[in-house]
Structure formats: C-alpha cells, structure tokens
C-alpha cells in the first residue's frame, strides 16, 4: 500500500451563501481514534443537508466544516476496538460531515460493507438513502407486503431508493415526479402508477387506482399544502411520514378527518440522531436491506458523477431539481 499523504484536498464553504462559496482547500490527513476507520474516498454523495449547511443553516455541534454526509471507499486504517472491518475492505459510510474529501474518517459502527456486485463509486449513493428509507418507511411507516404506498419526489436519490425498497418488500407503489422523463424513469422501476405532478392530480389518481380505499403509507418530502391532500388520499389507519418540507413547514390539518380515519403523522431527521441510534439503524440495514442491494433488487440510481472540485456544479444541479437519482463527487484520492 502506498504511503498516506500528509495533506488532502477537501471542499468547504468559505462563508454562508450559494454554490459559489464552495472552495477546494488543503487539509491535514484526518487523525484516527478508537472505533473509527480511515477511508480513502472513491466518491461522496451530494445531499440537500449539504446545501443547507452551505447556506448557513445550523448544524449539530461538532460538525466539521468539510461538507459531505456519505462516502464510499477503501479502508486504509482501523482504530482500536474495530473488529468488523480491516484495511483493504470496501465500505460505504454515513458521516457527520467530511465526505467531500480525498480521505475521511467514519465510525465503524456507521459503515456498511459494499457488496461485490456494486461499484465503489455507486456505493457512495447508498448510506443517506438507506438510513433514511429504513427508518422512515419501514420503522415509522411500518410498510409491509401488500400495503399501498405513496412516495412523493420519487425521482430523487432517496425517493428512487425508497421506490425500489418498497417494491422489494412486496408493497404497491404510487409515485409522483415532475415531467415525462421522470415519470418514464419511475415506470422503468416498476411502480404500480407513476403520477406527473405537473399534469395530474395525485389524489384523484389514487382514488381511481385504489377504488376509493386510499394508500396505507405516505412518504412526503413536500410539506406545505401537500400534507392535507395526502391525508385525503389515505386509507383508514394510514401512516404519514414527513421527510422534508420543500413547500413549507407550516400546515393546516383537518383533525376531524384525521380522527375519523385513525391516521398517524410522524417524521424524523437523520443528521441529529445519536451515535447509538445510527449504529442501531446500521445493524438493521445490514440484516434487512443489504440482501436487496446485494441481489440487485435495490440500486442507487446515479444521475451525475462530477470531480470533487466541481462541488459547486453538483450543488447547482441538485438545487435545480433536474436530477434523476443521486449526484456524486468523485474524489480520485492518491
């Protein structure tokens, strides 16, 4: 193995602002502590929380200024007490930050093995989606075989991953996206019904598809006025899970409908969860979701692969909502 470099390239936001505030800097090679892995990064995933951090929104205490909440690569060193991984292993890691770099440090308990069938670059698009989908769709939403689920924003990285996982679990998927290209992508993923939000009313489509019954689970990243319409489209005992609120965090609820149907509303945010909770989720994913990934039933859909120093372009792409799947930054670590 080649000697490790003393300094590495990494991407930070020099000040709060738009994509142009991102810049490449040289940083010392990260130090390693007990329970951690030093990873030579093949690629890092770009996610909306990265955009929020860049714009100046608060982050959990101790968040590094180097952006990036997921990465995949090769283990080059393991800290004390690590037994699950060793140098040379291919891993994909959920991070508190630091993924936009040639090397990063991750807690071994927050890492997943990369199946031989999955390329190391593509694996960088798995961790954020896997942790988010497992917890929200399967734990909070209690999705099971035979359920019907509505997934909004289904052409995104997380959305397309959720579609595949729901399908693998034996659920029927109704998915929304904007425009014919995204609808065609969803149809290729095998959804029961793809809805073009620009042309169709998803509530009417669901009413027709389910013969008035409604859906059992909603995975929503839109918020705002969508929530009331989601509830209208839900079956009795349905579970509504909020991932984000692109159209607003403030909503109005018809409690009469909520109570009459026996609906539940819940939500979560991955980034502030405790170290212990993320380790628990990683264990569940290894046991329940990794077989789907290894078999090819579930794959991260990759829209674009850009060099690490093109992070600003990657952020612009994500902000445009033009992506069909994940946007990756390729590190080319020495």
Which tokens hold the place of 46? 């770009």
User: 195: which strand partners?
Assistant: 176
How far, in Å, CA of 220 to CA of 246, rounded? 10
What pLDDT, in 10s, does the model give residues 243-298?
987 767 788 888 998 999 999 999 999 999 999 999 999 999 999 999 999 999 99
Q: What is the pLDDT of residues 67-118, one digit of tens each?
A: 999 999 999 999 999 999 999 999 999 999 999 999 999 999 999 999 999 9
CB 75 within 8 A of CB 37: yes
Domains defined along the chain, listed by start: 7-125+300-330 (3.90.180.10), 130-267 (3.90.180.10)
DSSP code at position 274: -
Which residues 6+ apart lie within 8 Å of 320 measured at CB?
none
Q: Give the model confidence (pLDDT) of 113-155 as tens digits.
A: 999 999 999 999 999 999 999 999 999 999 999 999 999 999 9
Cα→Cα distances 330→45, 60, 93, 103, Å: 9, 26, 15, 12
Query: Please, are residues 137 and 217 in contact by the beta-carbon 8 Å criterion?
Result: yes
Contact assessment for residue 123 and residue 74, using Cβ atoms and an 8 Å cutoff: no
Q: What is the pLDDT of residues 149-203, one digit of tens each?
A: 999 999 999 999 999 999 999 999 999 999 999 999 999 999 999 999 999 999 9
* pTM (predicted TM-score): 0.94
Label the pairing between strands 36-46 and 111-113. Answer: unpaired
Angstrom distance (rounded) from CA 35 to CA 137? 29
| Cα separation, 150 vs 176, whole angstroms | 8
Angle of helix 311-319 relative to helix 48-55, nearest 10 degrees, comes to 110
Q: What is the pLDDT of residue 3?
A: 86
**Residue of 157, 191, 171 lying closest to 47 (CA atoms):** 157
CA 320 to mean position of chain CA atoms: 17
CB 300 within 8 A of CB 325: yes
pLDDT (tens digit per residue) in 16-46 = 999 999 999 999 999 999 999 999 999 999 9
């Amino acid at each position: 193995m080649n000697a490790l470099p003393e300094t590495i390239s990494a991407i930070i936001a020099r000040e709060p602002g738009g994509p142009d505030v991102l810049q490449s800097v040289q940083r010392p090679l990260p130090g390693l502590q007990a329970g951690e892995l030093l990873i030579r990064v093949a690629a890092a995933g770009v996610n909306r929380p990265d955009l929020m951090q860049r714009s100046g929104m608060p982050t959990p205490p101790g968040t590094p200024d180097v952006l990036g909440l997921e990465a995949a690569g090769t283990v080059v060193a393991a800290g004390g007490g690590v037994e699950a991984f060793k140098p040379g292993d291919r891993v994909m890691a959920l991070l508190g930050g630091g993924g936009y770099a040639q090397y990063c440090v991750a807690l071994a308990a927050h890492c997943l093995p990369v199946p031989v069938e999955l390329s190391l670059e593509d694996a960088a698009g798995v961790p954020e989606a896997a942790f988010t989908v497992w917890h929200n769709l399967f734990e909070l939403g209690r999705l099971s075989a035979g359920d019907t689920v509505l997934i909004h924003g289904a052409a995104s990285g997380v959305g397309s991953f959720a579609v595949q996982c729901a399908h693998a679990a034996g659920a029927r998927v109704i998915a929304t996206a904007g425009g014919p290209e995204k609808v065609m992508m969803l149809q290729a993923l095998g959804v029961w019904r793809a809805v073009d939000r620009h042309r169709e009313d998803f509530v009417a489509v669901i009413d027709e598809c389910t013969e008035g019954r409604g859906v059992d689970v909603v995975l929503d990243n839109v918020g705002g006025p969508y929530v009331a319409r989601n509830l209208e489209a839900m079956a009795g005992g349905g579970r509504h899970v909020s991932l984000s609120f692109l159209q607003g965090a403030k909503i109005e609820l018809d409690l009469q409908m909520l109570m009459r149907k026996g609906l539940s509303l819940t939500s979560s945010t991955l980034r502030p969860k405790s170290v212990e909770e993320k380790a628990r989720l990683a264990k569940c994913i290894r046991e329940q979701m990794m077989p789907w990934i290894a078999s090819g039933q579930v794959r991260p859909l990759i829209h674009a692969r850009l060099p690490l120093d093109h992070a600003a372009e990657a952020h612009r792409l994500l902000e445009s909502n033009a992506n069909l799947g994940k946007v990756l930054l390729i590190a080319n670590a020495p």
